[in-house]
Amino acid sequence: MMHVYLETYGCQMNVADSELVTAILKSGGCEMAETPELADAILLNTCAVREHAEERIIGRVGELAQHKYERPQVIIGVLGCMAQHLGEDLIKRSRFVDIVAGPDSYRRLPGLLERARAEKALDVRLDRRETYDGITPERADGVTAWLTVQRGCDKCCTFCVVPAVRGRERCIPLADLVLRAEKLAAEGVREITLLGQTVSSYTDGEHDFAALLLELARIPELLRIRFTSPYPTDFSPKLIEAMAKCEKIARHVHLPLQSASDAVLKKARRRYTIADYDAVLQALRAAMPGMAVSTDIIAGFHGEGENEFQETCDYIRKARFDFAFMFKYSRRSRTAAWRWQETVDEETKSRRLKTIIDIQEQISREVQQACVGQTARVLVEGVSKREDGWLFGKTSEFRQVVFEDPAARPGDMVDVKVVGATGHTLIGERAGAAK
Ligand code: SAH
C-alpha cells in the first residue's frame, strides 16, 4: 500500500480539490500520511496565479527532495495549476519532480503514482467535461465545508492564468449539489461555501446562481451559505433580491475590483467600468445594510500611470472595503498580457502596493473598531487556542469572533456582545442563544 502526503497551496478551490484528490487516492488503495517522513509519495497541490507562488513551490520541492536521498524510491508530484501551467518544463526546472498532474487529471492519479515508480509521469490534459462527478470529497470533520459548484473560467482577463490552467467554465447540476449539501448537513455541517472562479455566473442550463442559493437555503440544518468569488457584473438584480430575502445567505461578498481606473480595467479585459462596479456595490449595500464587502486589487498593471493609480486609491477610500487582498502585477505566460511590454517598473509597483495596503489597513481597523459594542450572531466553529473554555466562530459578515462560553458547542448559533477588537479578531461576551 502506498502512503501519500499531500500539501496544499493557493486558493480555497485548491483546498477543496485536495479533498477530492484525497478521496480519489483512498479509493485507489492509497493511505494518507501525516508527515512527509511517513510517505512513499509527496504531492503538492499548487497555484500559478503569481510567479512568487511558483517560486515557492520550486523551493519546497528542493527541500522535500532530502527525503529522496534517504529513501530514493520516494515520489514527488506537483498537482494543480502550476503543474498545468508549466507542464513538462516543470520536470526540466526541477529534476526531483516525478509527477506533473493538472486540475483535470486527478481521476488518473493512482495510475500516475504507479507509473512514477518507473518513469516521469505527466498528465496535463484539460477536459471541459470533468466535474469529478460521482466522487465525494474527503473532508476533515467540522461545521464548515466547501462545495465546488463550478470549475474553470470563461472570463479571460488579460492578466490571469486561471482560464489557461483550469480550462473552460463548467457547472455541476443543481440536483447533484443539493444531494451533496444534504449529505454534508446530515454529517453536521452548518455552513457551506460555494466555490467557483466566477461563481455568480453559475448555470446548469436550467438554474442560475440565485436559484441555486435559494434551493440550498431550504436545507433546514444548513444555517449559513457563503460563496466566492462572484464576478462583479454577474450580480443581477434577481441575485441581489434572492440574497436579501434569505437570511441564511452570508452578509459578505468578495467582489474583486482589480483597479478603479477604467483605462486599466479595459486593458485587463474586465467587463465593467468603475461606475458599473460601484453600482453593484451600492445595490448590495442598499439591499442588505451593514453587508461586508472585500476585494482583490492589483498594483501596477498595464496602463496604470500615477493618475490611474490615484483613482484606485480614491476609490478604496470611498468604498471602504472590510478587507482586501492586494498584489503586485505578476506577468504570467499563457495570458494575453504576457506579450505586452510591462509599463510599470518593479520599484513603482512595490511603492503603490504599500500605499494601497496602508490605506486599506487603516479602513479595516476602523471597520473592526466600529463593531465594538454591537451584538453579533456567531456560528461557533470550534475551540479557540486563546484560552481554556473559549470558542471561535464567524459572524455572517465573515468577522472572526472569540468568546468564552461553557455551554455553546461547535455548530451552535449564538449572540455575542462584542467588547473588543484586536487585529483581525473580535473579542466577545456571550449575550444569549440565537432564536
Ligand atoms: N476568478 C477569480 C480570480 C482568481 S485569482 C476572480 O475573478 O475573482 C485571485 C486574485 O489574484 C485575482 O482576483 C487578482 O486580484 C489576483 N491575480 C490574478 N492574476 C494575477 C497576476 N497575474 N498578478 C497579480 N495578481 C493576480
User: Is 49 touching ligand 1 by the criterion CB < 6 Å?
Assistant: yes
Q: List CB contacts of 303: < 8 A, sequence separation 6 or more.
A: 261, 263, 264, 266, 267, 343
What is the H or E stretch that residue 267 is in?
Answer: helix 262-267
How would you class 373 by CB atoms within 10 Å of its CB: exposed for 0-12, middle for 13-18, buried for 19 or more?
exposed
Q: List CB contacts of 116: < 8 A, sequence separation 6 or more.
A: 41, 75, 77, 98, 99
Mean pLDDT of the chain: 96
pLDDT-derived band at 423, boundaries 50, 70, 90: confident
- 285 assigned to some structural domain: yes
CATH of residue 228's domain is 3.30.750.210
User: Is 50 touching ligand 1 by the criterion CB < 6 Å?
Assistant: yes
319 lies in the same domain as 386: no
- 40 assigned to some structural domain: yes
Cα dihedral 293, 427, 184, 219 sign: negative
- In the predicted structure, residue 434 carries a pLDDT above the cut 80: no
DSSP state of 197: T
More confident residue, 314 or 433: 314
- Report how far ligand 1's centroid is from the alpha carbon of 140 (Å): 27
Last residue of a domain, one of 370, 394, 411: 370
User: Is 159 touching ligand 1 by the criterion CB < 6 Å?
Assistant: yes
User: Is 327 touching ligand 1 by the criterion CB < 6 Å?
Assistant: yes
The pLDDT tens digits for 215-229 are: 999 999 999 999 999
- 135 assigned to some structural domain: no
Does residue 229 have a cis bond before it (omega within 30 degrees)?
A: yes
The pLDDT tens digits for 42-101 are: 999 999 999 999 999 999 999 999 999 999 999 999 999 999 999 999 999 999 999 999
Q: What percent of the chain is modeled with pLDDT above 70?
A: 99
- 256 assigned to some structural domain: no
Mean pLDDT for 240-246 is: 97
**Assigned C-alpha cell, 343:** 509599463
Last residue of a domain, one of 88, 123, 158: 123
365 lies in the same domain as 381: no
363 lies in the same domain as 391: no
Last residue of a domain, one of 74, 97, 123: 123
> Which residue's CA is the closest to the ligand 1 atom numbered 24?
329
- 412 assigned to some structural domain: yes
pTM, whole model, 2 decimals?
A: 0.97
394 lies in the same domain as 363: no
Mean pLDDT for 139-165 is: 97
Residue to probe by mutation, ligand 1, list 296, 302, 321, 325, most atoms within 8 Å of CB: 296
Residue carrying C-alpha cell 484539460: 126
- 131 assigned to some structural domain: no
pLDDT at residue 431, rounded to an integer:
82
53 lies in the same domain as 91: yes
CATH of residue 66's domain is 3.40.50.12160
- In the predicted structure, residue 231 carries a pLDDT above the cut 60: yes
- Report how far ligand 1's centroid is from the alpha carbon of 215 (Å): 29
pLDDT at residue 386, rounded to an integer:
79
363 lies in the same domain as 381: no
Mean pLDDT for 405-422 is: 94
- 292 assigned to some structural domain: yes
> Which residue's CA is the closest to the ligand 1 atom numbered 5?
49
> Considering its fold, how many domains does the chain have in total?
4
286 lies in the same domain as 199: no
Strands 3-8 and 121-123: unpaired
154 lies in the same domain as 167: yes
pLDDT at residue 430, rounded to an integer:
86
- Report how far ligand 1's centroid is from the alpha carbon of 418 (Å): 33
380 lies in the same domain as 352: no
- Report how far ligand 1's centroid is from the alpha carbon of 308 (Å): 19
380 lies in the same domain as 355: no
The residue range of the domain holding 199 is 141-250
CATH of residue 387's domain is 2.40.50.140
- 255 assigned to some structural domain: no
284 lies in the same domain as 309: yes
- Report how far ligand 1's centroid is from the alpha carbon of 160 (Å): 6
- The distance of Cα 127 from the centroid of its chain, to the nearest Å, equals 22
| One-letter amino acid of 301 | F
The pLDDT tens digits for 310-320 are: 999 999 999 99
Q: Are 402 and 384 in contact (CB under 8 A)?
A: yes
The pLDDT tens digits for 93-147 are: 999 999 999 999 999 999 999 999 999 999 999 999 999 999 999 999 999 999 9
215 lies in the same domain as 318: no
- In the predicted structure, residue 435 carries a pLDDT above the cut 70: no
Q: Whole-angstrom Cα distance, residue 368 to residue 376?
A: 12
pLDDT at residue 357, rounded to an integer:
98
